Amino acid sequence: MSVKLRLKRMGTKKRPFYRIVATDSRNRRDGRFIEELGYYDPLTNPPNIKIEEELIMKWMANGAIPSTNVEGLLRRTGTLKKWVLVKQGVPADQIEAKLAAMQETETKGLTADARRARYAGKKVSKKAAAKAKSGAAAESA
């Protein structure tokens, strides 16, 4: 039995609301599921995402595979980074410190435009990167 973490659509017509569930991959999208792991409400601004991290970690440790959409939600909430650290064998008491360090190194010294381009998956030009570094050097001096 292959377990997947995926979205189960709820709500009414044109008013979607999704539950994040662990289910057998052979089950229907809105069919039977094993356990509810959270929810996603795309209609609120910003979208409301609630994830039970302990349950997600338990299922992923047992081999569950998240769908593309669920993986995006996990990435948005930071749960996927925690999973990577757990998989690498980082002790539980050091995970928060490592996450903070990763967050600091990912965005430090970048301009807002460079940060947006990075998150959009575009390469940052050398000119924009040099501008960001010179701006960071001027701020620290």
Residue 132, pLDDT score: 65
44 within some domain: yes
Residue 139, pLDDT score: 59
Q: Domain range spanning residue 57?
A: 3-91
**Contact call for residues 48 and 69 (beta carbons, < 8 A):** no
What is 87-133 written as a DSSP string? HHT--GGGHHHHHHHHHHHHHTT--HHHHHHHHTTPPPPHHHHHHHH
Total domains present in the chain:
1
25 within some domain: yes
Residue 118, pLDDT score: 72
Residue 97, pLDDT score: 82
Residue 29, pLDDT score: 85
- In the chain (141 residues long), the average pLDDT of successive 10-residue segments reads 89 93 90 91 91 91 91 88 83 79 70 74 64 63 54
104 within some domain: no
Residue 107, pLDDT score: 62
Give the domain CATH number at 39: 3.30.1320.10
